[in-house]
Structure 1
């Protein structure tokens, strides 16, 4: 069986596991707001799915996305999830002879997209307390030159959870302008941050923000996200979009409804998220692990294993056998992945309680596991 087939079966088995505690993909499993489910039911009942959506997305959603980011004068392109939004950027700008500069750890898929287009991938290590688990403007400036086509910044960082300051965003934008690179600001987790500055708010020239409805609103399976930028950049990215018949009508109706109730919704999401983080952190520290970035500005925690004598993969497998999905660090980074596991926290509190109550047992069981399968 090919690696792709093994990977697909792995996730198919997880998806079809009854009552799975899904805490490994930063997805939001808090029961949806009634306005969102109501909008989807109304759309389905009206048969809206029989027709194609506008190619750039519903105008109401496009305007609401720009307003939500707080960047008047920009335009939005609605895409089939945040990952597809980023693939358009790489398709448009990543070419042979150029570089794609990002951090390590980062989100892996844009690196793959850029490499497929022929760009050289440059990853700058940020995993370590000595540098605050963050990229410095000085490190970025030393790594870029006129070959750099794209600077990709995940902020808050996935998986570390650090969030860059306004001054840092300004500095990164100046560096990008100096070498003529497109600065891509992946804002997927911004709604979980204590404070967040979209690059478009400080430098709209040759910058773009990507957004997603998977994490804060819980629409991962519906696939809806987007890009926000100046009109000429939206035209450039739309020109290479294969989804010329628009995205999911039902997903867009859910996204519109979600933005209308966002303040109310996020207050409850953040309450649950913070409580789950505290519970998981306490359980991790009780068995000798540490949480290097706390509070995390994403809906997840990185948990360092230290010297407890077990691998991330073994803990992930022990948890999976108990119906709990968490993630091994190697998913995010080959260089640092052996140090940590990652746990998502926008889940029902009973889920977080199950993980916390059983984490010590998972560690003990992991020590004797000799048949850990391939993980993805």
Structure 2
């Protein structure tokens, strides 16, 4: 409990920081589309929040999510954030004597959920040019066996920003099926990728996709995500859900409005995102820092810190002292976390400019820091 309290105070202090530049959680801070804001304000003004939402989500939103994935015949389950969606899968499938197989780096929380259910987590190391920073079918075969209950693939990968082709996903789906595992395709960042195939378009029987409205639409604090899969899988997962009274009514109204304007909205978001990436890349490379994955297919970049002579944690703390929140690699991976920092890029261009302009100062400041506090 002590560690949890420290973590909570850490984020509480971040929220209290006036004008904080949030560039560490891959959240979208580009000003919201006016129709999204209007939908949520209208919901609040009408008092919709006085009532519970349907347990699976509003039918219009469920249908819109499936349409957005472009695979007919499936169903959607609306959840309280993408993390909640993944927890349902682990609650349903992870058991003692089973494994969850994923990559290293990966998104950490499903690993925790699987362990809470008594399962073992098996990670395949992908940080390096020898695998092009990606999971490969051969690498997967070396780490998976018939104990595997869940094959968890984050695509685009957080924090690396690599993505997988339909052919690669087809191979993963086949290997998962051979071993009796469910392929869980975490599609949180799919809207930033240059072409993306959801695994349910390849194997709707034995794959499920998770999604989030935190990253592309900027509703992180509203807590809304979901799952897309065949009706039998959705029914199985809904049966273990603790959200029996539905998710946030206000968030669902915002999500529905967002899907209606998504095509136009994302054009602007991607334009700003790319401009921010280019600016940050130039600043990092001017300091001799490497950008191993370019272009990143997520709304973030990793900057390798080895050439700076200081730890990722020290750079993160130096930036925090200037009101900029970025992430140390150890948040994502114990094995490779000492190699990089991660910087989110769906932010106002002035934020990215501040980070890029001051990056050299952060590195210099980091050299003099002797007491870096716990980071999360």
Partner of 1:278: 278
Partner of 2:82: 82
TM-score normalised by L of structure 1: 0.99
Partner of 1:39: 39
Partner of 2:255: 255
**Structure 1 residue 143 displacement after superposition:** 1.5
Partner of 1:338: 338
Match status 1:245 vs 2:254: no
**Structure 1 residue 180 displacement after superposition:** 1.0
8 A Cα contact 1:288 1:306, kept in partner: no
SS of 2:208's equivalent?
Answer: strand
8 A Cα contact 1:97 1:119, kept in partner: yes
Match status 1:106 vs 2:118: no
8 A Cα contact 1:35 1:258, kept in partner: yes
The unaligned stretches of length 5 or more in structure 1 are none
The unaligned stretches of length 5 or more in structure 2 are none
Measure the CA separation in 2 of the matches of 1:137 and 1:155.
15
Partner of 1:95: 95
TM-superposition CA deviations, 1:163-200 (whole Å, max 9, x none): 00110000000001111100000000000001111001
**Structure 1 residue 144 displacement after superposition:** 1.4
SS of 1:121's equivalent?
Answer: strand
1:163-202 to 2 correspondences below 5 Å: 163-202=163-202
Partner of 2:20: 20
Measure the CA separation in 2 of the matches of 1:319 and 1:306.
17
Measure the CA separation in 1 of the matches of 2:183 and 2:141.
13
SS of 1:185's equivalent?
Answer: strand
TM-superposition CA deviations, 1:98-143 (whole Å, max 9, x none): 0100000000000000000000100000000121000001111222
Measure the CA separation in 2 of the matches of 1:146 and 1:334.
26
1:110-259 to 2 correspondences below 5 Å: 110-259=110-259
Provide the alpha-carbon RMSD of the alignment.
0.6
Measure the CA separation in 2 of the matches of 1:166 and 1:306.
34
Measure the CA separation in 1 of the matches of 2:150 and 2:202.
18
Partner of 1:298: 298
**Structure 1 residue 71 displacement after superposition:** 1.0
SS of 2:29's equivalent?
Answer: coil
SS of 2:56's equivalent?
Answer: coil
**Structure 1 residue 352 displacement after superposition:** 0.1
Measure the CA separation in 2 of the matches of 1:179 and 1:110.
20
SS of 2:227's equivalent?
Answer: strand
Partner of 1:73: 73
Measure the CA separation in 2 of the matches of 1:16 and 1:68.
36
Measure the CA separation in 1 of the matches of 2:138 and 2:94.
24
SS of 1:284's equivalent?
Answer: helix
TM-superposition CA deviations, 1:27-65 (whole Å, max 9, x none): 000000000000001101110000000000000000000
**Structure 1 residue 353 displacement after superposition:** 0.1
SS of 1:227's equivalent?
Answer: strand
SS of 1:151's equivalent?
Answer: strand
TM-score normalised by L of structure 2: 0.99
SS of 2:168's equivalent?
Answer: helix
SS of 1:367's equivalent?
Answer: helix
8 A Cα contact 2:173 2:206, kept in partner: no
TM-superposition CA deviations, 1:257-287 (whole Å, max 9, x none): 0000000100000000000000000000011
Structure 1 stretches of 4+ moved >6 Å:
none
Measure the CA separation in 2 of the matches of 1:16 and 1:238.
36
SS of 1:183's equivalent?
Answer: strand
**Structure 1 residue 357 displacement after superposition:** 0.3
Measure the CA separation in 2 of the matches of 1:228 and 1:312.
36
Aligned residues: 376
TM-superposition CA deviations, 1:5-32 (whole Å, max 9, x none): 1000000000111100000000000000
Measure the CA separation in 2 of the matches of 1:358 and 1:235.
50
Match status 1:2 vs 2:26: no
**Structure 1 residue 307 displacement after superposition:** 2.5
